[in-house]
Amino acid sequence: MELPSSSEINAAQAIVYRYMPPTPQYTWPLVNARLGAEAWIKHENHSPVGAFKLRGALVYLDRLKQQRPGLAGVVAATRGNFGQGVAMAARLYGLKAAIVVPQGNSAEKNRAVQAQGAELVEEGHDFQAAFEFAQRLAEMRGHAFVESFHEWLVQGTATYALELFEGAPALERVYVPIGLGSSICGVAAARNALGLKTEVVGVTAARAPAYARSFAARTVVEAAAETEIADGLAVRRPNAEALAQVLKEVSRIVEVTDEEIREAMRALYEDTHNAAEGAGAAAMAAAMKERAELAGKRVGLVLTGGNVDRAAFAAVLDGREAH
């Protein structure tokens, strides 16, 4: 897979903006004081599903309907945000949607998926198991399986990155959480399309180190995904195509602990009164970890989503672990 071109990103924008406006990028004085730098936060928590995933889903299903005009339905696997995006896009495009989540998934994300009119299927002990079941379910039903990493998804996610790069002053560095990889690939694509020199830094959870280990080994390495706070980063097996682009376009990967993520969630709420889910706060966590080297820099932080369960968020704000 090649990263999308400028014309492909612009075409994706035309699709995305039919259903949602651009999200804001703000610089917050208290965040800047905390980091000792000028930070611009891309607020994908302000999308219609509370996360960036809707963008890729809209582009994917638009392309899918063009290829298969008689298609009746789609099946996708998710830990929550991607499922909400696919469910909303399917509703807008008149398609049935079945969303497969692992057992024990976020109850509030599950309800949000169902609120978009999708069928919720709980199967598997982790995302990889849910992903494999969703593939089989799509085949059994004759519906299209929505890949969790695909060039169409990257085209969609690149639209938020284009907004950030065009809406903020020139950024020296941008921190991007890595789930399966569409987000960071979209950021790299937009940077390249604009001819910028911005350093792209990936962020993973220390307790879901598959991408960090794969980056170091320069090949796909599986690792247990045991993070308790950042389900959006809980990937056991990296996507080979995504990893190839990460190795080519990303300077390095920062690993953050669950407690560093919790600290970043608290900081974002205290400084901006925005709710960030664990994965959404990972970029802030990395910037806080690297504060010493950010002095005088202008950096971007991607707040990928704000869909955190109330009990979990209350526990984070109180400085305790949810049970």
CA pair distance 103, 124, nearest whole angstrom: 6
Check pLDDT > 80 for residue 118.
Answer: yes
In the predicted structure, residue 150 carries a pLDDT above the cut 80: yes
* Pick from 199, 148, 150, 151: nearest CA to 3: 151
Q: How many CB atoms lie within 10 A of CB 315?
A: 16
Strands 144-145 and 119-122: unpaired
pLDDT for res 127:
81
At 239-273, the pLDDT tens digits run: 999 999 999 999 999 999 999 999 999 999 999 99
Rounded to an integer, what distance in angstroms lies between the CA atom of residue 273 and that of residue 84? 23
Q: Which pLDDT belongs to residue 322? A: 59
pLDDT in tens, 33-45: 999 999 999 999 9
Q: What is the DSSP string of 284-297?
A: HHHHHHTGGG-TT-
Its pTM stands at 0.95
pLDDT value at 321 more than 80: no
3-state secondary structure of 277: coil
pLDDT level of residue 308 (50, 70, 90 thresholds)? very high
User: Where do the domains of the chain lie?
Assistant: 6-52+151-317, 53-145
Which candidate, 122, 127, 123, places its Cα nearest to that of 111?
Answer: 122
Alpha carbon distance 221, 173 (integer Å): 27
- Quick: pLDDT tens for 266-299: 999 999 999 999 999 999 999 999 999 999 999 9
Question: What's the pLDDT at 313?
Answer: 96
Identify residue 158 by its one-letter amino acid code.
A
- Tens digits of residue pLDDT in 196-244: 999 999 999 999 999 999 999 999 999 999 999 998 998 989 999 999 9
Burial of 69 (0-12, 13-18, 19+ CB in 10 A): exposed
DSSP 51: B
Integer angstrom CA distances of residue 313 from 67, 138, 153, 225: 41, 34, 29, 21
Mean pLDDT of 108-120: 95
- The per-residue pLDDT for range 157-175, each reduced to its tens digit, is 999 999 999 999 999 999 9
Nearest to 76 by CA among 59, 47, 96, 92: 96
pLDDT of residue 226: 93
The CATH code that applies to domain 6-52+151-317 is 3.40.50.1100
In this prediction, residue 128 carries a pLDDT of 83
What are 67-97's pLDDT values in tens digits? 999 999 999 999 889 999 999 999 999 999 9
Percent of the chain with pLDDT over 90: 93
Cβ neighbour number for residue 84 with a 10 Å cutoff: 29
d(CA 156, CA 109): 21
- Residue 71 and residue 144 in contact, taking contact as beta carbons nearer than 8 Å: yes
Look over the chain and give the mean of its residue pLDDT values, rounded to a whole number: 96
SS (H, E, C) 25-48: EEECHHHHHHHCCEEEEEEHHHCC
Q: What local confidence, expressed as pLDDT, does residue 37 receive?
A: 98
Q: What is the pLDDT of residue 174?
A: 98
Query: Edge-to-edge strands of the sheet including 252-256?
Result: 25-27, 38-43, 298-303, 173-177, 199-205, 252-256
The CATH code of domain 53-145 reads 3.40.50.1100
Domains 6-52+151-317 and 53-145 share a fold: yes
Q: Which DSSP symbol is given to 121?
A: E
